[in-house]
Chain A
Amino acid sequence: MRLSYPTDIRIVRVPCTGKVDLIHILRAFEKGADGVSVVGCMEGDCHYNSGNFRAKKRVDQARKILDTVGIGAERVRMYNLSSSEGPRFAQYAEEMAEMIRELGPNPVRKTLQRENHQTGGER
C-alpha cells in the first residue's frame, strides 16, 4: 500500500502471534528496546485458532514484570487487526511510536551504553 509508518520500528515477522513467547518480549527490553507491540489477528479470527489469545496472556505477564522491575507496563502492548488493514497498521504504529517517544528511552539503555563504552564495542 506504500503507506508510511515510523522508521524507528523494527518488524519481526512471525507466522502467528502465538509463536511469541514471554521470553522474546522480555529479551527485547533487556537488550534496550524502548517498546514492543505484538500485532495479531482479530480475536476469534486467529488463523491457528487461539494463538492470539495466548499472545495476549503473555503480553499481560510481560506488563506485570516490566512494572515490577521499573521499566513500565505501557511499553508493551497488543494490537489486533486483520491482515488487510494496512492503514490501521500504520495508525497503530504511529500511535505506539508517539507514546514511546513520550515515555522516553528504556531506562536500561543508559547502563547498556555505559557498558558498551567501557568494553569498547558491541556486547
Chain B
Amino acid sequence: MKTKTPSRLEKILAAGHLAVTSECGPPRGSDPVVVEKKAALIRDHVDAVNVTDNQTSMTRMCSLAACIRLKQMGVEPVLQMVTRDRNRIALQSDILGAACFDIYNILCLSGDHQSFGDCARGQNVHDIDSMQLLQTVRRMRDEGKFLGGDDIGRPPQMFVGAAANPFADPYEIRVPRLAKKAAAGAEFIQTQCIYNLEKFEQWMAEARDRGITEKVYILAGLTPMKSAGMARYMKNRVPGMDVPDEVVQRMADVPKEKQPQAGIDMCVEAIERLKEVKGVAGFHVMAIEWEEKVPEIVERAGLFPRPEV
C-alpha cells in the first residue's frame, strides 16, 4: 500500500508489518525530563508513542509540547487531540503547530468530560466533535485548505487516527461507529484495552464483513494488569470496559507478589492470540506508569526488534 505521509507508523503498516505503539502521559508540570524518561524506556520497542491530551480532564503539559520533545529526541510521536478544550480555530492552529515540528501522526478524540478533572467548573468547547475533527485534518492534508476555505501554506502531512471501543454502549452501534470513523477519514484505529478476546474477535469479524479492515488499520489496545485489585476495579468501576471473570480469577489465584507477572503473561498471550486475527494490524500497549514493562511484553510477543522502513 502506498503511504501518504512521512509517518513511520504508516510506513510500517503499509509494508504489512504488525505495528506497535505505546503511550506516554505528560506531567502535571513543565519538566521535560519526565516525558523524556518515559519515552527512553520504550523507544526501541515501539514504532510510535501516543501523547495524551489533558487526560481525564486533569490539566497537564499540553500534548503538543510533549510531542515536540519526543520528536527532538528522535522518537515518533502520535499527537492526541481532544475537542473538549479548543474551538476549530485553535484545533487547526495546533495541527499546524504540530506540522511545523514534523509531527506526522494524530489521534482525534472527544475527551473526557471536564467534571472528572481539576477544573470541573470550566466550560467545555466541543465546537466540533471527534468525527468532524477527522474530516478537518483530512481536508487540511488532502486539500490543503482551512475549514474556512483558504489555502494552507505547507499543509500538514499527518497520518490520521481515531479511537474505538469494541465494548462500548450502545451495543447496536459498535461496528457502525467504526464504519463512520472510517468514512470520516480515520486511517488507523487504536482500540480501548481488550480483556475479552472473544468479544473482540466477534467485533473484528463484523468489521471484516463490512470491509472496514480494508480501509483502516486496526491496532488492538492492551493494558497489562498489575494486580487482582486493578482487575476488579477495571471490571466494576470503569465505564466501557469488559473484563471477564476468568481474567480477574487468574489474577486472584496467584499470590500478590506474583500478580504483576501474571498480568504481563496474560498481555503477551493476548498478543499471541490476536496476531492470528485477520484485520488486526498491530498493538497499542498502554502500560500507564508501568512503561518499563513494555520492552518485556514486546520482546516476549516476538515483536522485537522493530522492522526497518
Touching in the complex, A and B, CB below 8 A?
Answer: no
